[in-house]
Structure 1
Amino acid sequence: MTTLCNSVIFKMHRSKLANTKTDKESDFEIVKRIVNYKEKNLYAIIYDRYADLIYHRCYSFCDTDAEAKDLTQDIFIKAYLKLHTFTENVSFKSWLYTLAYRFCVNYINRNKAKRIEKLSENIDNINELKIEISDENLYSMRVSGLEKALNLITPEDRMILLLKYRDDVAIKELAENLKIGESAVKMRLKRAKYRLVDMYKSNL
């Protein structure tokens, strides 16, 4: 793993790749060259394009800058190792975001000291979800209260809500990336919105 970090991410001479035709290629074309032709140095371009974005996504799941940076590095290492699984059916950006969010969720769930307490109320019964939570309900929430509520719900709920409403990942792409049906994605979103609004109201 250390060898991979040194050779692919941290010791790459980015300046040699700047202002070239390669730098303007699409994500898919670059990934294809990395996977098919073993041009590992091109991963520097992918890293430059998305490192800051992934860092900020990680920061929303942890407490410190150092922790977010460590998660970012781990995610790019994992993404590199899984590049061969990426297909053109979804955008690389949404593929990487989904991988990052799932990595953060697993990280939180593995770390008992940082595990977020789940709601005691069981709302798995669909009868409790008769009231539809519209997107307008989410957009009308105060930012401070919304951020607090997001930090209190489960990381799984936070992941799917942020993917859908902050990163604008379409239902179809969410289904493809999460390996579940579109109806299952919609149900997860519905339940996550219900829990978010409930948490928001209880902390007003």
Structure 2
Amino acid sequence: MSLLKSLILVLIGRNAKSYLSKAKELSDGEIADKVIKSKDSQLFGILYDRYSNKVYNKCYSFVKNSDEAKDLTQDIFLKVFLKLHLFNSSKASFSTWLYVLAYNFCTNYVNRDKKKKYMDEPMDDHEYHLSNDEVDIEKINCLDEGKLIKALDSIPPEDKSLLLLKYQDDVSIKDLQDSMGIGASAVKMRLNRAKAKVIKAYEKL
């Protein structure tokens, strides 16, 4: 770990000092805007305190290892601090922007593990038709939770990330469209195909 990274992580992990107490009453977007202007790492620490546990849990869902998840969480917040100038509070909430960044980071990390295989086989005609129709999310919600988690872990991380963003974090189609740089119809198609893959993986368990 570089000296710069160590220093930043120490700073953002500390509780905000007393003179920042009023800042804790601000919204995420307001704090982010102030950090962008001031580069105040202690002010950024408020955002870290609000979201570090949530980001850790998301990281853990991908790597299933506490130490790895902690390292990923620190890496993600370091990247957030350095890339915060790209955040625009008028276009998306801070949580949406953060979760998209976190999922992308985890996806890239997991994809570097060449030993792990994911279910990304070509779909047969029935499955292809299913993926292009509206797949009812309630069908997935009614599945056994333990098996569903295993099914999610067996599909490509890009598909898992997309499903979690939409159905766990309640990110809108519009925000997904903006973050992915594709049209709404393309987002919906990818969501349906991801849901079809989960159902297929679940049925194989």
Tell me the TM-score normalised to structure 1 length: 0.90
Distance 1:144 1:170 in 2: 26
Distance 2:32 2:133 in 1: 44
What's 2:44 paired with?
43
Offset at 1:177? 1.6
1:150–1:196 CA contact under 8 A, matched in 2: yes
Amino acid at match of 2:175: E
User: Unaligned 5+ residue runs, structure 1?
Assistant: none
What's 1:64 paired with?
65
User: CA offsets, 1:95-144, max 9 Å, x none?
Assistant: 0000000000000111213x332332346995463553201111111101
The more displaced of 45-54 and 124-133 is 124-133
Amino acid at match of 1:2: S
Distance 1:4 1:177 in 2: 29
Offset at 1:18? 8.3
User: CA offsets, 1:21-41, max 9 Å, x none?
Assistant: 111111111111111122232
Amino acid at match of 2:167: Y
What's 2:9 paired with?
9
Count of residues in correspondence between the two structures: 202
What's 2:25 paired with?
24
SS in 2 for 1:167: coil
Distance 1:15 1:79, change over 3 A: closer
Offset at 1:5? 3.0
Distance 1:19 1:35 in 2: 16
Q: Say which of 129, 136, 139 aligns to 1:134.
A: 136
What's 1:181 paired with?
183
Cα RMSD between the aligned structures? 2.2
Distance 2:101 2:124 in 1: 27
Distance 1:143 1:67 in 2: 24
1:8–1:41 CA contact under 8 A, matched in 2: no
Amino acid at match of 1:8: I
2:35–2:43 CA contact under 8 A, matched in 1: yes
SS in 2 for 1:116: coil
% same residue: 43
Offset at 1:7? 3.4
Q: Say which of 186, 196, 200 aligns to 2:198.
A: 196
1:8–1:43 CA contact under 8 A, matched in 2: no
Offset at 1:157? 0.7
Tell me the TM-score normalised to structure 2 length: 0.90
